[in-house]
Amino acid sequence: MSSSTSTSTLPSGLAVLTTFPDVLFIPEIVFAFVATLVYVIHKVFSLLRWKSS
């Protein structure tokens, strides 16, 4: 069995955002969260309006 002397470690901190595709994850997460929040708020108010009628 051969052993490899080079080890690959995962980056941490801001080193994760070293390439452009990695940076695109930030707006995607900020978007997926705001969209989910707006959807849940709409659903709650829609349910309250339906129950009051």
* pLDDT lower than 50: segments of the chain: none
d(CA 25, CA 9): 20
Confidence at residue 11, expressed as pLDDT on a 0 to 100 scale: 80
Q: Can you give the pLDDT at residue 10? A: 82
Q: Which residues constitute the domain of residue 48? A: 18-52
Per-residue pLDDT reduced to its tens digit, 27-40: 999 997 999 999 99
Whether the predicted model's global pTM rises above the 0.75 cut: no
Q: What is the pLDDT of residue 1?
A: 56
Distance between CA atoms of residues 30 and 34, nearest Å: 6
Looking at the domain assignment, is residue 47 inside a domain? yes
Give a yes or no: residue 32 inside a domain. Answer: yes
CA angle 45, 51, 53 (to 5 degrees): 105
pLDDT for residue 5: 67
For 17, other C-beta atoms within 10 Å of its C-beta total: 13
In a domain, 2, yes or no: no
Please give the tally of structural domains in the chain. Answer: 1
Alpha helix segments (H runs only) across the chain: 20-23, 25-52
7 in any annotated domain: no
pLDDT for 23: 87
